[in-house]
Amino acid sequence: MGREDEKLSAVLGARTAGSLGKLGLETVGDLLRHYPRRYGDPGTLTDMDRLALGEHVTVMARVARATVRQMRSRGGALLQAVVTDGRHELQLTFFAKRPGALRPHEDKLRPGRVGLFTGVVSAYRGQRQLTHPDYVLVGVDADDEESAMFEASRPIPIYPASASVPSWRIQRAVRTVLDPLTAQDVDDPVPVEVRARLGLPDRLDALRRIHVPADARDWQQARDRFRFEEAFVLQAALAQRRAAAAEQEATARPPRAPGEPSILVDFDAQLPFTLTEGQRSVGEDIARELAQPRPMQRLLQGEVGSGKTVVALRAMLQVVDAGGQAALLAPTEVLAAQHARTLRQLLGPLAEGGLLGGAANGTRVALLTGSLGAAARKEALLQAASGEAGIIVGTHALLGEHVQFADLGLVVVDEQHRFGVEQRDALRAKGRVAPHLLVMTATPIPRTVAMTVFGDLETSSLTEIPAGRSGITTHVVPAANPVWMDRTWARVREEVDAGHRAYVVCPRIHPDADVPTSGAAAASAEFDDVPDFLELTEGEATSDRPPLRAVLEVADMLRTLPQLDGIEVGVLHGQMAPADKDAVMARFASGEVQVLVSTTVIEVGVDVPEATVMVVYDADRFGLSQLHQLRGRVGRGSAPGLCLLVSTAEPGTPAAARVEALAETTDGFRLATLDLELRSEGDVLGAAQSGRSSSLRLLRVVKDADVIEQARREATAVVEADPELHHQPALRGAIEAQLDDEQEEFLERA
Ligand code: ADP
Ligand code: MG
């Protein structure tokens, strides 16, 4: 029985446990999984005469004196010690809030004691010193000089720490917990046969190597093993999900027999274009799966404009033909409203079932969003419950709310990244029989990410763009160049005069709000859900750059711009009431508004074919994939699209490289890969799907493709041999713990 569930308070005492709790570490297992961020090089023993500033050194020396004093100027306490090699002196400095915190050092650093001191050399008032050095004292931490040398030559683990819990205290806590553990105390989720086959150390061995390495090889091997473990547990969980889904029942929704009346056949007959080869073959796959008594679980990837909506609609119509209903879920109300419009348009009279002039075997499209008036809402609910509406469009709330369906047979989710594993599970658990599921995404997902995040789904892709698109040209416009900016607005004028429309995208809503500098601020209402945005600006100098442009400010500016005289400028952002958003989108679609200034709320799916120009302010501060999504909003009709990226990035910076890459290629897959390379893993997973980052600490989804594939093979074999994992209690436990974490995060977010 493992000890990793034991509370730290029971093992380390309340005080230490309390401070570790601030880092989110509650149990022995939490602490053991708090891996070092990196390892200090113990450096080489250095002649004190030749200590160079900035160098990481280890010196063997004798303590000459040590004194603690209160600092008057700054508050807090200071311990200063002097060590000597007999000829030269070196100062050691430790700071703390209270003198008491320095006592343990003072107790150890007694004059005459010999030790090894490790740190980076700095200078203070002409005197060389080490600040907060790591050290080992002979006769205290080590028996003799030789063992002191050994202790001090190990890589020094450096932990993710905080001001109140420094790395060395974490290290000590880890040792207290880890040192007495035996093999029985540690459950290993990786079965012994798998470890033997792949030559991986067992879990306890690996914990020792990662926390107390004797050399670099130790922690590297341990790190590889834990990467494998993370991938393995995840893949085993996904394999179980797939197995469970395969067992689940769904209602088969076969297509109508040839010759029978069919809304799908009528729809195909009235389509103004021919389906692309990809649309046809993906459509066939979907049609076949819908006809099975098992729930379809399919992810449909396709570049913006590749025609996913038609594929989804045809699937919905097959379900309607079979007597069922389909729900289409969009991430926002604006998009839901637009989807409803698009579907009604595509269906024409087929969407007027039961109405005078409607087609005989037509159906109805109901829109159900929070912003509906009471009467409209009641009507939509009634249509869903009675089955009068074969297609119900809404946001994800549709599934949570007490919406009754007559016979829900298919759920289509547009834009996957806000529809995570938890929601998919909730959906499958909803009825006695699960509905079929089709998830659509326009963000190309590298294979291993798909395997990690969507490992429970089958994938199909639309790779061609329907003919007749004129494509899009992208230019970078330096914000500081007035001639280029003039030209930008002149181009907008020309397009509007030609009967087209323009988007102007800004990162912020209000001009006067402070520019947030931390990721946490991304959640604030000031930004319209732009996760990419701040992650990328962090670490890049933001303080000395011009403030971000804001929707309201830019709209005012454009309304007084002589070049845009007589043009109607509208505004769209996430703080507007849903009804106002819909209204302005409708006016933009109809041409009453010709220039729409907005935040990234238009990122996904908005479809106004007359829109031909997009101007993006502060383009250098957005993520690549996001910009690519954004520009997909223009050039959707027969006229060519133009995207102008207004940038304040200095030439030669990564930000400049990012916007230039975008101007050079429209290959979404290349851009997505580039984007991933520019991000950290947490962001990749966070952006792709919530709730995964907690279980992945070391695994890198893009770089560790081999590990993931290997883990998938091994995990699938283990689950196939023993679907309930009766013989793998440790693996079962690890999967449950992971699900609990996800559940928790999900609840916290909700
Ligand atoms: P996506 O959702 O993949 O971004 P849409 O389904 O919105 O793409 O399609 C974009 C536009 O292309 C729509 O106006 C749609 O009617 C049109 N379209 C779809 N399929 C075809 C096709 N095979 N030929 C021509 N136009 C198409
Ligand atoms: Mg779409």
Determine the distance separating the centroid of ligand 1 and the alpha carbon of 266, expressed in angstroms: 19
Q: Does residue 559 or residue 415 have the better pLDDT?
A: 559
User: pTM for the complete prediction?
Assistant: 0.61
Determine if ligand 1 sits within 6 Å of the CB of residue 306: yes
End position of a domain, from candidates 632, 665, 698: 665
Which of the ligands is closest to the CA of residue 330? 2
Ligand 1 lined by 307 (C-beta under 6 Å): yes
Structure tokens at 421: 């594993």
Q: Are residues 490 and 438 in the same domain?
A: no
The protein residue whose alpha carbon is closest to atom 17 in ligand 1 is 307
Q: What is the DSSP string of 124-165?
A: ETTEEEEES-EEEEBTTTBSSHHHHHHHHHS-EEE----SSS
Distance in Å, CA 306 to ligand 2 centroid: 8
Which residue has the CA at smallest separation from atom 9 of ligand 1? 307
Q: Which ligand is nearest to the CA of 304?
A: 1
| Ligand 2 centre distance from Cα of residue 331 (Å) | 11
pLDDT of residue 145: 75
- pLDDT score recorded for residue 421: 63
Nearest to 426 by CA among 404, 400, 463: 400
**What CATH number is attached to the domain comprising 332?**
3.40.50.300
Q: Residue 323 domain-assigned?
A: yes
Report yes or no: 293 and 250 within 8 Å, Cβ to Cβ. Answer: yes
The residue with greater pLDDT, 83 or 56, is 83
At residue 110, the pLDDT reads 93
User: In the numeric block, which tokens belong to residue 665?
Assistant: 């290629």
Is 418 within 8 Å of 396 (Cβ atoms)? yes
Contacts of 536 (CB under 8 A, 6+ apart): 621, 622, 623, 655, 658, 678, 679
**Ligand 1 lined by 312 (C-beta under 6 Å):** no
Q: Which residues surround ligand 2, an ion (CB under 5 A)?
A: 309, 605
- 528 and 649 part of one domain: yes
For residue 572, which of 558, 588, 591 has the smallest C-alpha distance?
Answer: 588
Q: Convert the pLDDT of each residue in 662-697 to its tens digit.
A: 888 877 767 776 766 655 444 444 433 333 344 566
In a domain, 637, yes or no: yes
Residue 430 is predicted with a pLDDT of 59
Do 506 and 621 belong to one domain? yes
Does residue 233 form part of some domain?
Answer: no
Average pLDDT, the chain: 82
- Of ligand 1's listed atoms, the one at least distance from the Cα of 274 is 23
658, 521: one domain:
yes
Range(s) of the domain holding residue 107 = 42-154
Q: Do residue 545 and residue 591 come from a single domain? A: yes
Buried/exposed code over 677-701 (b: 16+ C-beta within 10 A; e: otherwise): ebbebebbbbbbbbbbbbbbebbeb
Nearest CA to ligand 1 atom 5: 307
Nearest-angstrom CA–CA distance, 180 and 588: 69
User: Ligand 1 center to residue 273 CA distance, Å?
Assistant: 9
199 lines ligand 1 (CB under 6 A): no
* Same domain? 493 vs 629: yes
Ligand nearest the Cα atom of residue 414? 2
Q: Is 310 in the pocket of ligand 1 (CB under 6 A)?
A: yes
Residue 273 Cβ < 6 Å to ligand 1: yes
- Tens digit of each residue's pLDDT (9 = 90 or more) over 273-287: 999 999 999 999 999
User: Which tens digit of pLDDT belongs to each residue from 363-398?
Assistant: 999 999 887 888 998 999 999 999 999 999 998 778
> What is the 8-class DSSP label of residue 45?
B
Residue 6 domain-assigned (yes or no): no
- Encode pLDDT of 171-194 as tens digits: 889 999 999 999 889 999 999 999
> Which residue minimizes the CA distance to atom 24 of ligand 1?
466
Report the distance separating Cα 673 and Cα 566, nearest Å. 43
The CA 465 to ligand 1 mean position distance, Å, reads 8
- Domain assignment of residue 481, yes or no: yes
Kindly tell me if the per-residue pLDDT of 581 is higher than 90: no
User: 482 and 367 share a domain?
Assistant: no
Out of 407-416, 470-479, 539-548, 717-726, the most confident range is 717-726
Compute the chain's Rg from CA coordinates.
31
Q: 134: domain CATH number? A: 2.40.50.140
- Pocket of ligand 1 contains residue 466 by CB under 6 Å: yes
Question: Ligand 1, closest atom to CA 310?
Answer: 6
Check if 278 has its Cβ closer than 6 Å to any atom of ligand 1. no
Distance 442 CA to ligand 2 centre (A): 8
The ligand 1 atom at the shortest distance from the C-alpha of residue 303 is 3
Residue pLDDT, tens place only, 500-513: 999 999 989 988 75
One domain, residues 478 and 528: yes
Ligand 1 within 6 A of CB of 606: no
Q: Among the three residues 88, 122, 154, which one is the final residue of a domain in this structure?
A: 154
pLDDT digits (tens, 9 = 90+) for 110-161: 998 888 888 888 888 888 899 888 888 877 777 777 777 777 677 878 787 7
In the reported structure, the alpha carbon of residue 308 is separated from the centroid of ligand 1 by a whole-number distance in angstroms of: 7
Answer whether residue 364 is part of any domain: yes
575 within a domain of the structure (yes/no)? yes
Same-domain pairing of 361 and 403:
yes
Distance 470 CA to ligand 1 centre (A): 13
pLDDT at 742: 56
Share of the chain above pLDDT 90, in %: 42
Share of the chain above pLDDT 70, in %: 83
Using the mean position of ligand 2's atoms as its centre, give its distance from the Cα of residue 308 in Å: 6
Which ligand has the minimum distance to the alpha carbon of residue 307?
A: 1
Q: Where among 637, 665, 693 does a domain terminate?
A: 665
- Same domain for 533 and 622: yes
Give the pLDDT score at 741: 62
pLDDT in tens, 433-487: 889 999 998 766 666 666 666 677 778 888 777 766 667 899 999 999 999 999 9
pLDDT at residue 410 is higher than 90? yes
Residue 624, CA atoms < 13 Å, CB-side half-sphere:
28
Q: Is the CB of 464 under 6 A from ligand 1?
A: no
533 and 631 in a single domain? The answer is yes
pLDDT digits (tens, 9 = 90+) for 626-640: 788 788 888 777 788
CA of 743 to the centre of ligand 1 (A): 37
* Residue 341 near ligand 1, beta carbon < 6 Å: no
| Residue of 607, 630, 638 to mutate, ligand 1, most atoms within 8 A of C-beta | 607
| Other CB atoms within 10 Å distance of the CB of residue 650 | 11
Q: Is 308 in the pocket of ligand 1 (CB under 6 A)?
A: yes
Position 442, amino acid: A
Q: What is the DSSP pairing of strand 297-302 with strand 458-462?
A: parallel
- Ligand nearest, relative to CA of residue 301: 1
Q: Is ligand 1 within 6 A of the CB of residue 608?
A: no
**Residue 455 within any structural domain of the chain:** no
Residue nearest to atom 13 of ligand 1 (CA): 307
Beta bridge partners of 83: 63, 90
Give the rounded distance of the alpha carbon of 665 from its chain centre. Answer: 24
Distance CA 212, CA 222 (A): 11
Buried/exposed code over 411-432 (b: 16+ C-beta within 10 A; e: otherwise): bbbbbbbbbbbbbbbebbeeee
Relative to the alpha carbon of 605, which ligand is closest? 2
Ligand nearest, relative to CA of residue 271: 1
Tell me, yes or no, whether 620 and 480 share the same domain: yes
Q: How far is the CA of 414 from the centre of ligand 2 (A)?
A: 7
Q: For the chain, how many structural domains are there in total?
A: 3
